[in-house]
């Protein structure tokens, strides 16, 4: 081999401190070190992004390794290969010469190979009489041996990080699922507690979750969710213990009966919900005379403006947005999933959502929103309920409040537009009486 090893690149390429650092590192390889070149290459692929290597650069490195006849690399062996650009292009899947040069420079910058350029920049080797290589100019692969342990440690650390990230994502998914289902169970089984506030706490935590987050951020959010999970779990377990589940069969049967919707209606009625489904002939004729046209979304939002508060964007532009907002409002009001499903089945999804919005608008005046919704659902099943008088009563109340306080003319114009809508639809006297009844119920 040559007595003087080239340390500077040929031509206009400048020498950098990074190149010198790579050359210094290559000299630190122990003479007795032995590595498997393809195993080291597998580690390099794992940590490619951390090293700053491109995927094309690794394709070239793969080609360079294939030009060395030995699979095992030793610390004291000559590891210089001298393929031409044409040979490299053929083994690197036919990339262009400009692309080849650019990614060869990337390999040098990353310290994966070292340039050993000849005086004229050509790559070649001179052999002695015995066929042994005496001088070689090309690419030195000694960093593969010198940095093999570093690549292995980086690959193992990256695998551990990926495993930890996957586990925290699994914890996040399971914790979110458990919290939502436990909140639904608490509402469904009438467990005492402010479940609306619990849901708001959950939504506040989840709202801080970015679309793509590092593991440390996920760990913080999961820790808060697990704390909330523990609190909810304690409440549910305490309630189960207090009901003495080990009692006799009759007690268990009575507990199950009390959890059914029919019994819940009775308990909610005792809380002060006024029964409106009287089923009188006057009310039946009134419902028959209600407008058959669907309510415009703009009027619904004028009447039930509080629904916008629960929307993260602060805007509701379509019925789909409104239905999604109603799904968020339902647990805040403490309405059980079964009551919500019954309402959608009896009224239709859109009218049930409008009803939820109206109840949310008057939540400070309704003692038990769940019982009230079940009452309206029963009326809807008997074809004695429509959302029109409910919405119109809210609009009229807003109009009266606006006129009394001398608020902005824009709101007055909106309310007057609603009144023109009433006139255009020829609302009956019976409907106006029902609207007045809603005003009196407040």
Q: Which helix (H) or strand (E) holds 114?
A: strand 114-116
- Are residue 61 and residue 87 in the same domain, yes or no? yes
Nearest CA to 138 out of 179, 197, 79 is that of 79
Report helix, strand or coil for 140. Answer: strand
Do 278 and 296 share a domain, yes or no?
yes
B/e letters for 326-358, b = 16+ CB within 10 Å, e = fewer, are bebbbbbbbbbebbbebbbebbeebbbbbbbbb
Cα gap 58→216, rounded to integer Å: 30
- Show pLDDT as tens, one digit a residue, over the chain (442 residues): 444 455 555 445 555 655 556 655 666 667 777 888 899 999 999 988 888 899 899 999 999 998 888 888 887 677 888 888 888 888 888 888 899 889 888 888 888 888 887 776 677 777 777 667 767 788 888 888 888 888 899 999 999 999 999 999 999 999 999 999 998 888 888 888 788 888 888 989 988 888 888 899 999 999 999 999 999 999 888 888 877 554 444 444 444 444 444 433 333 333 232 333 333 334 444 444 444 457 788 888 888 888 888 887 778 888 888 998 888 888 888 888 898 999 999 988 889 999 998 998 888 888 888 888 998 999 888 888 888 888 888 887 877 776 665 544 555 455 555 555 444 444 455 555 555 555 555 4
Residue 406 belongs to domain spanning: 261-441
- The CATH number linked to 56 is 1.10.10
Whether residue 371 lies inside any domain: the answer is yes
How far apart (Å, rounded) are the C-alpha atoms in residues 288 and 88?
84
23 and 125 in a single domain? The answer is: yes
Same domain, 126 and 232: no
End position of a domain, from candidates 255, 270, 291: 255
DSSP 184-241: HHHHHTT-SS-HHHHHHHHHHHHHT--SS--HHHHHHHHHHHHHHHHHHHHHHHHHHH
Number of domains within the chain: 3
Per the CB < 8 A criterion, the answer to whether 319 and 357 are in contact is no
Give the length of the chain. 442
Q: Which residue, chain included where needed, has tokens 């005003």?
A: 439
CB environment 82-95: b (16+ within 10 A), e (fewer): bbeeeebbeebeeb
Q: Is residue 187 part of a domain?
A: yes
302 CA to centre of own chain: 31
pTM above 0.85, yes or no: no
């Amino acid at each position: 081999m040559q007595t003087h090893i080239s340390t500077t690149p040929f031509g206009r390429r400048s020498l950098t401190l990074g190149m010198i650092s790579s050359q210094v590192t290559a000299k630190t390889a122990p003479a007795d070190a032995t590595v498997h070149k393809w195993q080291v290459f597998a580690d390099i692929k794992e940590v490619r992004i951390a090293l700053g290597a491109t995927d094309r650069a690794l394709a070239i490195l793969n080609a360079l390794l294939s030009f060395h006849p030995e699979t095992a690399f030793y610390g004291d062996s000559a590891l210089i290969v001298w393929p031409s650009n044409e040979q490299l292009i053929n083994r690197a899947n036919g990339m262009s010469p400009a692309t080849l040069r650019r990614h060869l420079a990337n390999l040098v910058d990353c310290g994966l190979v070292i340039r050993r350029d000849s005086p004229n920049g050509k790559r070649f080797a001179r052999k002695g009489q015995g066929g042994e290589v005496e001088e070689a100019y090309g690419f030195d692969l000694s960093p593969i041996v010198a940095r093999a342990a570093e690549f292995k440690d980086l690959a193992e650390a990256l695998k551990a990080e990926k495993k930890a990230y996957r586990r925290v994502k699994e914890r996040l998914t399971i914790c979110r699922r458990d919290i939502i289902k436990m909140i639904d169970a608490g509402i469904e089984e009438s467990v005492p507690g402010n479940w609306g506030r619990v849901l708001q706490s959950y939504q506040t935590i989840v709202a801080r979750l970015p679309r793509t987050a590092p593991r440390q951020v996920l760990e913080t959010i999961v820790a808060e969710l697990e704390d909330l999970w523990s609190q909810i779990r304690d409440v549910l377990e305490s309630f189960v213990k207090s009901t003495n589940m080990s009692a006799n069969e009759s007690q268990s049967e009575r507990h199950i009966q009390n959890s059914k919707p029919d019994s819940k209606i009775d308990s909610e009625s005792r809380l002060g919900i006024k029964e409106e489904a009287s089923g009188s002939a006057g009310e039946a004729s009134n419902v028959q005379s209600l407008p058959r046209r669907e309510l415009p979304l703009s009027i619904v939002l004028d009447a039930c403006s509080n629904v916008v508060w629960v929307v993260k964007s602060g805007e509701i532009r379509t019925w789909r947005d409104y239905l999604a907002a109603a799904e968020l409002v339902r647990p805040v009001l403490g309405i059980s999933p079964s009551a919500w499903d019954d309402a959608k089945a009896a009224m239709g999804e859109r009218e049930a959502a409008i009803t939820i919005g109206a109840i949310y608008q008057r939540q400070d005046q309704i003692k038990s929103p769940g019982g009230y919704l079940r009452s309206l659902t029963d009326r809807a099943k008997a074809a004695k309920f429509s959302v029109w008088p409910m919405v119109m009563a809210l609009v009229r109340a807003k109009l009266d409040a606006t006129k009394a306080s001398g608020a902005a003319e824009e709101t007055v114009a909106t309310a007057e537009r609603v009144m023109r809508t009433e006139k255009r639809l020829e609302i009956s006297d019976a409907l106006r009486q029902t609207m007045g009844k809603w005003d009196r119920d407040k």
